[in-house]
């Protein structure tokens, strides 16, 4: 006599009861950036509005930031690209005015939105600096306005040359919640001092996020103002720097002499 064993469906109640699940089911673009979801079966994480086939609830996990999703071992979805585009809910300036000045280590591009300084970029080529600004603020109207920004450019350039003098100007930072936490932590590192990526991870209460901290440093658009050049490898060696390792070394040497 055969006995039939009733197969039980996976318990999907927790996911289906979570209000975020409705946003995933309806592909609600307004929820993009408020959270991310990952799919265990595919190993990727997505925006709520992702157009991919709806995942089974039992395979779904929710994450407050994309950094949390990556720390959990998931990679960005190639369809909705949650690591590349800015969620619509974030304010993006329609117009940005910029100017380019010089200091002892090259050129300094200073950009200002209606809310404050949104970028301080270092480099050696005017056209390359503008392209960098364009890539960080796609869709914004960029206006080279030396006349209006002359005073601001002078203040920022003087600060970049000598950070100990301070910089009292409004800032307009653009980043994820995690990136903002990292950048605020970097601003607590005094000139002449350094910290490791692990140190910063510990300071923000996420000790396992050293790699994500490094990524946040690389995404920083406010050179020296948000001093990512003061973050070094755990053994004290200089690691990568968006504007060149040699420039990073020079900045640290200048600050050590203050």
Active-site residue numbers?
228
Q: Copy the structure tokens of residue 188.
A: 């607590």
φ/ψ of 64, rounded to 5, equals -70, -30
């Amino acid at each position: 006599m055969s006995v039939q064993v009733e197969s039980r469906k996976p318990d999907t109640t927790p996911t289906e009861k979570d209000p975020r699940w409705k946003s995933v089911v309806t592909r609600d673009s307004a929820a993009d950036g408020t959270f991310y979801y990952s799919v265990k079966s595919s190993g990727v994480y997505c925006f709520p509005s992702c157009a991919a086939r709806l995942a089974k609830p039992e395979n779904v996990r929710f994450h407050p930031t994309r950094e949390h999703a990556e720390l959990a071992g998931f990679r960005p979805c190639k369809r909705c690209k949650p690591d590349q585009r800015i969620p619509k809910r974030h304010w993006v300036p329609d117009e940005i005015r910029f100017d380019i000045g010089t200091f002892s280590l090259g050129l300094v591009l200073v950009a200002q939105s209606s809310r404050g300084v949104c970028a301080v970029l270092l480099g050696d080529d005017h056209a390359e600096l503008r392209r960098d600004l364009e890539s960080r603020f796609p869709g914004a109207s960029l206006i080279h306005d030396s006349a209006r920004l002359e005073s601001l450019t002078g203040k920022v350039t003087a600060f970049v040359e000598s950070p100990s003098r301070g910089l009292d100007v409004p800032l307009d930072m653009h980043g994820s919640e995690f990136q903002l936490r990292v950048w605020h932590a970097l601003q607590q590192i005094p000139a002449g001092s350094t910290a490791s990526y692990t140190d910063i991870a510990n300071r923000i209460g996420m000790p396992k996020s050293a790699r994500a901290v490094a990524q946040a440093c690389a995404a920083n658009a406010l050179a020296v103002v948000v001093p990512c050049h003061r973050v070094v490898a755990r053994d004290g060696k200089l690691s990568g720097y968006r504007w060149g390792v040699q420039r990073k070394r020079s900045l640290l040497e200048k600050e050590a002499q203050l």
